[in-house]
Structure 1
Amino acid sequence: MTETTEATFARYLRLAAEDDGPRGEHCLDLVTSYYDLVTDFYMEGWGPSQHFAPARPGASPTDILAEGERYLADRAGLRPGMRALDVGSGVGGPALTIAAYSGAHVTGLDLHPGRTEHARRRATDLGLRDRTAFVEGDAVRMPFDDASFDVVYAFEAICHTADKGRAHAEIARVLKPGGLSIGYEWLAADGLSAEDVRRLIEPLCRYYALPQLATPARLAEQLRCAGLTDVVVGDPEATGDLSPTWDHLDQLADLGEQLGDSPVRTFMAHGARALTRAAREGAFLIEFWEARKPEGREPEGPAV
């Protein structure tokens, strides 16, 4: 590890060790420090699409993730002439797949300048500069005009925000009337005890730069308070069976622990163990959501 990486890792560990309130107060530093540390490892082990999808025998992780992205594009009804926003677009994997597949124009929004620049380079390499744009910015203060997009989606990204209600209110603001908010989110199960949160959810927050996790009920409330209607949270068809994915993640953790060549890699392996444990005990969920901005009026009510 270089001295710079050591300093970044130390800062991240200090920020992540705080309770959920202070983690939220330092959210921008927490998240950007995290991705300074892990992006190269994610590219090595996961590729440019850094989210989860159901694993299956004989299919490569790259193909599985792209299929999930195309599924979302189809479900959202994306087609040429439409404009979509990818919240937390990272290095651009889903945005570029969806733009190429659907013909829609996709704008990616991400906090991390290095990941945003990487996405721009990949768009150039893939000949998709005319169908994409990648913008550095914060999901709770989006640098876009009202009613700019037909669809706003996110793959497991809003979990990194401290004020999730405000992020959904911003999504509602930038959606056109009749537009769709859709995506996948990391959640804690409804009804967990304080001990379950301490034992299973808090480790995830500290390993994965999460100020806190919403629950399915809380997410539905946030969507409604943002003024969105036709709210759906949870859909087995959209999510699929993630059990084989947790097995694959455990295999990656085995490899990371065996290599032992980097404190950051070891840290990530321990994080993977915490995630699969929480998922198998039913405390951690990845759920699909969708909701629509009503036609002809702006969202009502404060963000939650």
Structure 2
Amino acid sequence: MTETTEAALERYRQLAAAGDSARSGHYRDLVTSYYDLVTDLYLEGWGASHHFAPLKPGDSHVDALAARQKFLADRAGLRPGMKVLDVGSGVGGPALNIAGLSGAHVTGLDLTPGRVERARTRARDLGLQERTTFVEGDAMDMPFEDASFDVVYAFEAICHTADKDRAHAEVARVLKPGGLSIGYEWLAGDGLTTGEVRRLVEPVCRYYALPHLATPGGLAAQLRRAGFTGIVVGDAEATGDLASTWDYLDELAALGEQLDDSPVRKFMVQGARALTRAAREGAFLIEFWEARKPGAPSA
């Protein structure tokens, strides 16, 4: 018998509320069930690029996301002939935009089968199937050969992994010598008290299918343990001021409260409120990182 939306949401809630060890142990079910529930509403309210970006005066939300993607592509030096991996590629928004503007070939890797299929469909619709490939797979056990990519990037996706050390080690493995790991990550603030984590960070984890959140210091240590050098975590220009973005998210939440009484929409509104509260109190951060695999790049 097909599971109802209400039953699927309740099952997700129970799993998400079980604590970080249970979320980590069942991360695949946690993440795939979450995105099965919310992807349609993400597409409706946020578009095909499921990440955040600073909103500058006069810019639309779509403009801001595109600018974030172009910044990353430019910072990584993407160009025709390069092989690039997008970790947690979702429905393909950033991968397709970056492939289109840079000329590089982008492979998208995502854990959720339905999102991979949507990305493939969008690639065909946009005529970008020759420049992109979308693969179902786990960031902690990537289905790629060693030294397959010149650049690996992620837009706020490695936070969904249960073992972030393992995910960054996999990134290092599939990068060519001299290759670049770069992206944006959801993090908890360094130095939070147990009470602050419980009050502010734990709700974000429950609402957004996060086994747990690393901190900026933790991310830098993960990159070091994976063997990267030239590590940067946090860059004011790259990260930008997200205060206006949290205002925009609150506006969307207020609109969502007025639209209907869909249980999934209510759930997403509650999640948005938890996220903006944690961000404004400094318990939740989005930070830029980059790091390079040692070795000379191939000619």
- The residue correspondences of 1:192-231 to structure 2 (distance < 5 A) are 192-231=192-231
Q: Deviations over 1:12-63 (max 9, x none)?
A: 0110011100110000000000000000000000000010000123221111
Letter of the 2:33 partner, please give it: S
Letter of the 2:236 partner, please give it: P
Contact 2:6–2:263 (Cα < 8 Å) also in 1: no
Structure-1 residue corresponding to 2:181: 181
Structure-1 residue corresponding to 2:250: 250
> Are 1:135 and 2:146 counterparts?
no
Q: Residue 106 of structure 1: SS of its match in structure 2? A: strand
> Are 1:45 and 2:56 counterparts?
no
Distance in 1 (CA, whole Å) between partners of 2:56 and 2:232 is 26
Q: Residue 204 of structure 2: SS of its match in structure 1? A: helix
The TM-score, its normalising length taken from structure 1, stands at 0.96
> Are 1:172 and 2:172 counterparts?
yes
CA drift at 1:5: 1.5
Gaps of 5+ in 2: none
Q: Deviations over 1:185-234 (max 9, x none)?
A: 00000000000000000000000000000000000000010000000000
Distance in 2 (CA, whole Å) between partners of 1:50 and 1:20 is 23
Q: Which runs of 4+ in 1 moved over 2 A?
A: none
CA drift at 1:253: 0.7
> Are 1:283 and 2:283 counterparts?
yes
Distance in 2 (CA, whole Å) between partners of 1:276 and 1:266 is 16
> Are 1:13 and 2:13 counterparts?
yes
Paired positions, count? 296
Structure-2 residue corresponding to 1:301: none
CA drift at 1:3: 4.9
Structure-2 residue corresponding to 1:235: 235
CA drift at 1:257: 1.4
Q: Residue 130 of structure 1: SS of its match in structure 2? A: coil
Letter of the 1:47 partner, please give it: G
Structure-2 residue corresponding to 1:59: 59
Q: Deviations over 1:85-126 (max 9, x none)?
A: 000000000000000000000000000111001000111111
CA drift at 1:296: 5.4
Distance in 2 (CA, whole Å) between partners of 1:160 and 1:205 is 9
Identity of aligned residues (%): 75
Gaps of 5+ in 1: 298-304
The TM-score, its normalising length taken from structure 2, stands at 0.97
Structure-1 residue corresponding to 2:147: 147
- The residue correspondences of 1:13-32 to structure 2 (distance < 5 A) are 13-32=13-32
Q: Deviations over 1:256-286 (max 9, x none)?
A: 1122330110111011011000000011000
